[in-house]
């Protein structure tokens, strides 16, 4: 699975692709240089149950660590994952 991050000045997303098909996408907005807001996650039904959403989230967490910014997870999926996974809470905006 290939996961890439694409962004412009105010919005961005992580996209997962496999064999030329989009498996899933997690979008975020960039309100400031200090943090981002994850607002939506969608996974193609053909890829459900394969951890695509979690892989997308980990890619964004990795990017946040590199940029030294925090994440505010407004998306219900991302919010639930932050509550469940202790290893990513270092980038959680409090």
Residue 46 binned pLDDT confidence (cut-offs 50, 70, 90): very high
| 46: three-class secondary structure by DSSP | helix
Question: What's the rounded Cα separation, in Å, for the pair 23 and 52?
Answer: 7
pLDDT (0 to 100) of residue 7: 96
The mean per-residue pLDDT over the stretch 58-86 comes to 98
What are the respective helix, strand and coil percentages of the chain, to the nearest 5? Answer: 35, 40, 25
pLDDT (0 to 100) of residue 67: 97
The mean per-residue pLDDT over the stretch 27-52 comes to 97
The mean per-residue pLDDT over the stretch 17-44 comes to 97
CATH number of 2-91: 3.40.630.30
- Please give the model's pTM, rounded to 2 decimal places: 0.96
CA-CA-CA-CA torsion for 87, 88, 91, 94, nearest 10 degrees? -90
The mean per-residue pLDDT over the stretch 24-37 comes to 97
């Amino acid at each position: 699975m290939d996961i890439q991050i694409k962004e412009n000045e105010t919005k961005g997303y992580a996209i997962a692709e496999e064999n030329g098909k989009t498996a899933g996408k997690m979008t975020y907005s960039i309100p400031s240089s200090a943090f981002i807001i994850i607002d939506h996650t969608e996974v193609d039904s053909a890829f459900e149950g394969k951890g695509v959403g979690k892989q997308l989230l980990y890619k964004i967490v990795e990017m946040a660590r590199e940029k030294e910014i925090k994440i505010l997870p407004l998306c219900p999926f991302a919010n639930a994952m932050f509550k469940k996974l202790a290893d990513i809470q270092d980038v959680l905006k409090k």
